[in-house]
Amino acid sequence: MSLKRDAVNEDYVFGTHRGNPLQVTRWTGNRVGVTTGAAAQLIALPAGTEIIEITATENAYVAFGDGTVVATAAVDATSRLFLAGVQIVPVPIDGGSDLPYTHMSVIEAASAGVFQVEKVD
């Protein structure tokens, strides 16, 4: 296996035996975290965020939107269950502006836990 660094954006690309690269995201240090609870919490995403890494120690419900978004403790049209763990996701696009949403809201599913969002390149 080889490790290469792209000269333009310094991404790491791991070669594979079949020639398909494995993309690895870079942490930016632009992160926010909260402790989830029974009340929804608003998280302002770092400016210009298009892709995020979400880390959660407990299951939680999340919703994306503007500065007024509120997650609900149920899977519905606005909130989605996020299972404890780590996942990289694109920030959904706001249909009104065609830009990624600027905020997200989080609420515990059953137990309080740590919830962190980091902008990745």
DSSP string, 11-41: -EEE--TTS--EEE--EEEEEEEEE--SS-E
Report the top-level CATH class of 28-120. Answer: mainly beta
DSSP letter string, 50-118: -EEEEEESS-EEEEEESTT----SS-SSS-EEE-SEEEEEEPPEETTTTEE-SEEEEEESSS--EEEEE
Is the pLDDT score of 3 beyond 50?
no
- Extents of the domains making up the chain: 28-120
Average pLDDT over residues 13-40: 79
Residue 33: closest CA among 52, 64, 55, 49: 55
Counting Cα atoms < 13 Å in the Cβ hemisphere of 111 gives: 8
β-strand partners of 52:
89, 119
pLDDT reading at 32 higher than 50 = yes
**Do the bridges between strand 99-100 and strand 93-94 make them parallel or antiparallel, or are there none, so unpaired?**
antiparallel
Q: Is the pLDDT of residue 21 over 60?
A: yes
Least confident of 15-24, 44-53, 76-85: 15-24
Strand partners, 117: 32, 54
Q: How far does CA 28 lie from the centroid of its chain?
A: 13
Q: What is the pLDDT of residue 18?
A: 65
Average pLDDT over residues 39-51: 94
For 11-16, what is the mean pLDDT? 56
What pLDDT, on a 0 to 100 scale, did the predictor assign at position 40?
97
Instruction: Place 115 in a pLDDT band, splitting at 50, 70 and 90.
Output: very high
pTM over 0.85: no
